[in-house]
Structure 1
Amino acid sequence: MSEPRLGQNTQRRYEIAEDVLRSNIADGILPAGLVLLEGPIAEILQISRAPVQRALLQLESDGLVHRFKGRGYLVGPPGRAIEPNRTDIKSLGLTIPQHADEALQSRSSWERIYTEIENDVAGCVIFGQYRIIENELANHFSVSRTVVRDVLTRLRERGLVRKNQSSHWIAGPLTAQTVKDHFMLRRLLEPQALALGASHIDRDRLAVLFSRLSELDSAQSADAWQSLEDIRAQFTECCVLAMPNERLRELIRNNLLPVTATERLLRQLGLPGDPAVIAEIRLIVELMTRGATAAAAAMLENHIDASMNRTIAQMKIVAIIPGPSVTAAYLTRVVE
């Protein structure tokens, strides 16, 4: 088994997840060809998908896993024509060292419920305005109101909820204008960040991303659309967030949250993906691989503009839908 890194108690969750997966691959517990999906791994480690996603990206860069035409990653290096093995990872008995388990479970209470609440909120705001009642939220998750306020404060920092004049917590509505506002910020920030971080981009990771985009652009299949959110996240991490300015990175991440949530909800409602999205991102990455940073930044501006128009057009379709059939118990629709 591989040795844990130094400074274990200061490791971030994605680093711990990466070490756990790496050691289980090395020990043969995760065999070659096994399909790795973020959701089941996140459930086993009791963390959100984001650190698992980042861990898998690093393992992919190191050649321990690779993407294929289906969803997820295959254990093993690329180019070996490994047959996908879809055994449920939960049945394999992953080895999780005690220090890793303790480090993952020592995170504060608000982190354990944050992702679920964020998803609940993001899944309804496109349909209107909702009030979040602190007591009901606390009872729903069996936590204190202090923990609830921690979650809601962070959701407010990310622009997903706000307090009205009566000091009630309000989510939504997500309107065409608010979407335009978020995309305007994207247009101002992301091309500049791409240009600023060009010299910091991991070239090997960029090559892997370009190869994956080229495969998807050629495939034009249902699997391609299922992989779209993952591809966008990889592009953002690899290219847009490569610059060393942490405050700018955080601003970009927070602004993307409602945008990503909206696009995810539109997919869940069955609205089709546009083949142009993958082609646009592939072109940006190709320009970056060639060192054409200014052209890539200009193409990113065009991509953001096109994405805004696509999103607003689909929101008009959703406007005729009465609303979600089920919302979390702590969310109450505000009728204006």
Structure 2
Amino acid sequence: MQPLASVPSRSEQVYHVLRDSICECRLEPGTHLVQEDIAEKLGVSRQPVQQAMLLLKSDGLVVEQGKRGLYVAPIDRAGMRHHYQIRQVLDELAARLVAGRVTEEPGFGAHLRREGTAILEEGARARERGDAAAMVRHDVAFHTMIYQLSGNPLIAAKAESHWLFLRRVVIGIVTHVGRGHTAWVQHEGILDALVAGD
């Protein structure tokens, strides 16, 4: 066997570009995904686009509509509720584990405060710029930090697949409902509670 290349393959690069475009609603639900057009826009052949589409179908972000081709999956209200239910359980578990580490490990609270504050400051700057996609990336980064600092490496991996769907909803909330400020105030409260070991 040959060692694997350390750089992402073309299909991985195409996958990440399309995934982020879907999750950030630059490719809206119901958008027809024509492989030739995508290949031309990204400057690649059709093969990496086809491979990326298979991964996106497996994720559930792209659906096939008979002979009409591939489309960005709709945002399904019941499905989103299910994703949020699972995320709630994962977030509660991660928060409980982080709070436990704060009370048990000297200096851990200060480390948590530094990491959390840095993310929240970046998110606040994105909000000031009106950059909804960046706000959501920092939102995900804040929660991911909690997962990673929980000490349980399985939480972040399990949560990631749900965030693929939830990012689309959060973008809509930030863009159309205008809850960006409220979200950051809530995140500050979460950080304060965790640093206090609560």
Per the normalisation by structure 1, the TM-score is 0.44
1:193 to 72, 94, 97: 94
The answer on 1:291 being equivalent to 2:192 is no
The answer on 1:149 being equivalent to 2:55 is no
Deviation, 1:252, is: 0.5
For 1:225-304, list aligned pairs within 5 A: 228-265=135-172, 267=174, 269=175, 271-292=177-198
Per-residue CA distance 1:26-83 (angstroms, 9 max, x = gap):
xxxxxxxxxxxxxxxxxxxxxxxxxxxxxxxxxxxxxxxxxxxxxxxxxxxxxxxxxx
Q: 1:116 aligns to what?
A: 17
Rounded to whole Å, the distance in 1 between the matches of 2:129 and 2:184 is: 9
**Cα distance change, pair 179–214 in 1 and its aligned pair in 2 (3 A):** closer
Rounded to whole Å, the distance in 2 between the matches of 1:175 and 1:266 is: 15
Instruction: Flag structure 1 segments of 5+ consecutive residues without an equivalent.
Output: 1-8, 11-101, 293-336
**Cα distance change, pair 134–247 in 1 and its aligned pair in 2 (3 A):** farther
Deviation, 1:215, is: 7.2
Rounded to whole Å, the distance in 1 between the matches of 2:62 and 2:78 is: 16
* Conserved 8 A contact 2:126-2:135: no
Instruction: Flag structure 2 segments of 5+ consecutive residues without an equivalent.
Output: 103-107
* Conserved 8 A contact 2:110-2:195: no
Rounded to whole Å, the distance in 1 between the matches of 2:115 and 2:150 is: 18
Deviation, 1:248, is: 3.6
Q: 1:132 aligns to what?
A: 33
Deviation, 1:109, is: 0.9
* Conserved 8 A contact 1:206-1:289: yes
Per-residue CA distance 1:76-121 (angstroms, 9 max, x = gap):
xxxxxxxxxxxxxxxxxxxxxxxxxx96xx3211233333322433
Rounded to whole Å, the distance in 1 between the matches of 2:93 and 2:44 is: 41
- Corresponding residue SS for 2:149: coil
Deviation, 1:164, is: 4.5
* Conserved 8 A contact 1:134-1:145: yes
Rounded to whole Å, the distance in 1 between the matches of 2:27 and 2:76 is: 9
Equivalenced residue count is 187
Q: 1:223 aligns to what?
A: 128
Deviation, 1:255, is: 0.8
* Percent of residue pairs identical: 14
CA RMSD of aligned residues (A): 3.9
Deviation, 1:233, is: 3.2
Deviation, 1:135, is: 3.6
Deviation, 1:152, is: 1.8
Rounded to whole Å, the distance in 2 between the matches of 1:170 and 1:270 is: 23
* Greater relative contact order (CA < 8 Å, ≥ 6 in sequence): 2
